[in-house]
């Protein structure tokens, strides 16, 4: 029952966020013209683990760590637990992401531990060689977006570098 309630809550909040800002999100599964190419099917089998959040220049989440695990799978929807730690290993934010079957982007909501402020998160993977067939190594990227105020831009996107996969 608790998982069902969380699913309904995340679904309603996600629908409200994405419906309220239709111009913030591109067509299909593209949010921005990503330099890594087209999104590949989400790597549900290989996503579990800890990742270093990296960006080309200093940014709010850069240097943080994401711990990711698959929470639940059923015929039509899959859930991801996402916990963000700051560079000192302190809990920064926690939440869940979800994707319906065959979607290439996991969308979710994280809540900051200190303030309770929430923000959206999107996780996706790309072929490193920009192959439209998703051949070769995958690059995993994350986008953090505020629920209110500033727009979600490409500067809120980061690469995820695996630290461990357990």
pLDDT reported for residue 37: 65
- Given a cut of 90, whether residue 51 has pLDDT beyond it is yes
CA distance 142 to 158: 5
Per-residue pLDDT of 109-129, as tens digits, reads: 999 999 988 999 999 888 777
The conformation of residue 12, written as its DSSP 8-state character, comes to H
- Given a cut of 90, whether residue 30 has pLDDT beyond it is no
- Given a cut of 80, whether residue 47 has pLDDT beyond it is yes
Q: Please count the other Cβ atoms lying within 10 Å of the Cβ belonging to residue 146.
A: 13
Per-residue pLDDT of 119-158, as tens digits, reads: 999 998 887 776 667 877 788 889 888 887 667 766 788 8
- Given a cut of 60, whether residue 8 has pLDDT beyond it is no
- Given a cut of 90, whether residue 28 has pLDDT beyond it is no
Q: Please count the other Cβ atoms lying within 10 Å of the Cβ belonging to residue 46.
A: 12
């Amino acid at each position: 029952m608790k998982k069902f309630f969380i699913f309904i809550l995340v679904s309603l909040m996600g629908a409200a966020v994405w419906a309220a800002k239709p111009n913030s999100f591109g067509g299909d599964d593209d949010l921005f013209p990503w330099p890594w190419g087209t999104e590949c099917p989400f790597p549900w089998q290989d996503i579990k683990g800890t990742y270093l959040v990296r960006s080309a220049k200093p940014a709010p989440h850069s240097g943080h760590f994401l711990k990711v695990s698959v929470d639940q799978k059923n015929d039509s929807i899959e859930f991801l637990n996402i916990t963000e730690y700051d560079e000192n290993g302190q809990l920064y934010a926690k939440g869940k992401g979800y994707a319906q079957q065959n979607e290439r982007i996991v969308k979710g909501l994280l809540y900051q531990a200190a303030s309770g402020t929430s923000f959206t998160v999107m996780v996706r993977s790309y072929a490193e060689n920009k192959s439209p067939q998703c051949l070769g190594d995958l690059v995993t990227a994350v986008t953090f977006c505020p629920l209110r105020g500033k727009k979600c831009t490409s500067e809120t996107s980061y690469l995820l570098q695996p630290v461990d996969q357990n």
